[in-house]
Amino acid sequence: MSDKNKVWFITGSSTGFGRELAKQALERGYKVVATARNSDSLKDLVAEYPDTARAVRLDVTNEEDVKTSVAKAVEEFGSIDILVNNAGYGLGGGIEEPSMEQIEKQYDTNIFGVIRMMREVLPIMRTNKSGHVMNISSVVGFTAFGSIGYYASTKFAMEALSEALSKEMEHLGIKVTIVEPGGFRTDFAGRSFTQPENRIEDYVTSERIDAMGEYHNNQPGDPVKGAKAMIDMIETENPPLRLPLGEDAVTAIEEKLNSVRENIDQWREIAVNTKVEEADGAVS
């Protein structure tokens, strides 16, 4: 199969990275199944690329939606070669501030939605002995910031699953990449960011959460360039497991790595001095 005959399946395609990835993949000649909870928002893409674009309704929290949308993609184009798990949103607040309902919804979309998609698409890729799963994480999937702990925790979970999956699928020719963007001018700090139901003064999170509104559309990252970087990466022979995007993301991840190394070095003696003592060659 020619690379340009490959089929992309992208969740959360109405705006942001999902929309830009769909647009650029179509421009490069790929086939694209673009999905959104309101598929009408994608009609213009289908109108511009009637032979290679399909718009499908998908709510990743709905098991039947997931099954139906994947079946439609296979019916239309015969397979799915590149799965992009992009659908998701942010939840602000300290650990005590969001309601349990808000926390459960965050996990249902950001992590269980990804799990549903992978479990539905991976059998196709295993049959084909090829494919690429690209999971859109975040810089906070590698280094958590205060006031968005639940959002960060869903991205940490996504990264763990992705890392495990990469090792499970390597021998089958299926690749996995975790994309870790910093601040990009998508809807994350606007429409896609949820405020906590409660505010607790001790957490000092209100100022940080309120600043998200000012950050919206003032982020340093260009989603057009970000999407191009992702597609360029997909087209390489040896794509990476992790792709940080943006100087802010690279800097924050490097600082986290340095911090972990310093922590290990400081506590190395205590950490390693925990083995079972042996007496006369026998374990006591």
Active site residue 151: yes
> How many whole angstroms separate alpha carbon 85 and alpha carbon 135?
5
Inter-residue contact 136 to 113 (CB < 8 Å):
no
Active site residue 153: no
Determine which one of 155, 162, 203, 206 is catalytic: 155
Residue 137 identity: S
Token pair of 213, please? 């509104």
- Of 212, 269, 232, 270, the closest CA to residue 93 belongs to 212
Determine which one of 137, 153, 162, 206 is catalytic: 137
Inter-residue contact 130 to 122 (CB < 8 Å):
no
Inter-residue contact 221 to 246 (CB < 8 Å):
yes
Token pair of 230, please? 């992702």
Inter-residue contact 245 to 229 (CB < 8 Å):
yes
Inter-residue contact 139 to 151 (CB < 8 Å):
no
Active site residue 155: yes
Residue 4 identity: K
Q: What are the beta bridge partners of residue 132?
A: 82, 175
> How many whole angstroms separate alpha carbon 21 and alpha carbon 231?
8
> How many whole angstroms separate alpha carbon 161 and alpha carbon 184?
24
Determine which one of 151, 175, 203, 206 is catalytic: 151
Q: What are the beta bridge partners of residue 180?
A: 244
Inter-residue contact 114 to 60 (CB < 8 Å):
yes
Catalytic residue numbers?
137, 151, 155
